[in-house]
Amino acid sequence: MSTTEFESLDKCLESHLPEEELKEVKRILYGKETKKLELPSSAVDAATDRDFELKGFQFDAAQEQLRPPRKVRVGLVQHHIVLPTDAPVMEQVNAMHSRIGEMVEVAAMCGVNIICFQETWTMPFAFCTREKEPWLEFSESAENGHTTRFCQELATKHNMVIISPILEREDVHNTVWNTAVVISNSGNVLGKSRKHHIPRIGDFNESTYYMEGDTGHTVFQTHFGKIAVNICYGRHHPLNWFMYSMNGAEIIFNPSATVGTLSEPMWPIEARNAAIANHCFTCAINRVGTEHFKSEFTSGDGQKAHHDFGHFYGSSYVAAPDGSRTPGLSRTRDGLLVVEMDLNLNRQISDRWNFKMTGRYSEYAEELTEAVRPDFKPKIVK
């Protein structure tokens, strides 16, 4: 585990600002304060023993006369890879399963209803190498692969909806996808959401490995609420979040893998803005650590070849439709963020701000239809 990396913005602010100023800084940076969620001491002790950070927060909504509160607890998991990247594939996968198993157990102690893991959680983020093997051996069937079966057991045991983002191989045509499998709390595969936008930036050479998703903007009606999964690079696309929300998503998860030099200043803004713009909750999850690869690779930028991608900065957080957000998890440690939210807040904020009602979507639909035509002429008056 890296000890030289900066640990977290929150820790830095808390240790350097006087209390009154800290309050104001946090109000401006994070919006309305999210209350700490009391977690069972057995869970806190287990997280300490298992060497991961455990944090809990809650978002309240106003009491309504006609609708009872709709409280849901979500869990966001960020973690390092467990074994070196040159360990045998199956050993790496199984080691990751054991790590996740022990973190999910703690989530269950905290009453988590829906849990989401990081992007392609069973493997190193090896797409930087441009080597096909052994990385493509980590791909599995979404419906009945080893990892899905593992998650089904966890889901049934803990009565928990599980979002399991994996490298998927569809075995009729051997097509590979970056896919989040959604498993219901009764252990059934409810469906899957394939990564819609594939990055073409830096060392994220993912288009070499898998295809643009074809599952559209599916929303999953679970026992605990309507959820959707916008995988990693999709968070830079406001229309991607928007379409999940148009299909009724109440919580949109964003399992990611991204590094500090590339995206860190954008990280706190994008998922949070999506929560505001779409009157829903968003959950941003990023892996942690620096992953070393045996073969050197270049980044195509004239710099020297290297063995790693840079530091994955964690910092997973949840944002609410009123613009508030939780503090982030650490930039360096494995962690579980438990957040209780009352889904009634979505409609309450929608009634206050009316973004959906004032959206003028049919005008945009017409203008967009024109804008994507090959004979499109931009409307510029000179």
| Residues identified as active-site | 119, 195, 232
Smallest gap from residue 121 Cβ to ligand URP (A): 12
Nearer to ligand URP, 34 or 263 (CB): 263
Q: What are the φ and ψ backbone dihedral angles of 380, each rounded to 5 degrees?
A: -125, 125
**Calpha distance 340→326 (Å, rounded):** 11
Partners of 328 in the beta sheet? none
**Calpha distance 86→296 (Å, rounded):** 13
CA distances from 44 to 2, 204, 335 (A): 23, 36, 12
Residues in contact with ligand URP by the rule CB under 6 A: 119, 199, 204, 232-233, 256-258, 262-263
Nearer to ligand URP, 224 or 317 (CB): 317
Q: How many CB atoms lie within 10 A of CB 87?
A: 14
Distant-in-sequence, close-in-space partners of 197: CB < 8 Å, separation ≥ 6: 212, 233, 234, 236, 237, 240
Smallest gap from residue 286 Cβ to ligand URP (A): 9
Whether the CB-CB separation of 190 and 206 falls below 8 Å is answered with no
Smallest gap from residue 365 Cβ to ligand URP (A): 27
One DSSP character per residue, 226-269 reads EEEE--GGGGG-HHHHHHHHHTT-SEEEEEE--BHHHHTTTHHH
Helix (H, G, I), strand (E, B) or coil at 49: helix
**Calpha distance 271→281 (Å, rounded):** 9
Distant-in-sequence, close-in-space partners of 237: CB < 8 Å, separation ≥ 6: 196, 197
**Calpha distance 377→370 (Å, rounded):** 9
Nearer to ligand URP, 94 or 290 (CB): 290
Whether the CB-CB separation of 92 and 133 falls below 8 Å is answered with no
Smallest gap from residue 179 Cβ to ligand URP (A): 13
Whether the CB-CB separation of 255 and 231 falls below 8 Å is answered with yes
Nearer to ligand URP, 257 or 341 (CB): 257
Helix (H, G, I), strand (E, B) or coil at 361: helix
**Calpha distance 114→164 (Å, rounded):** 11
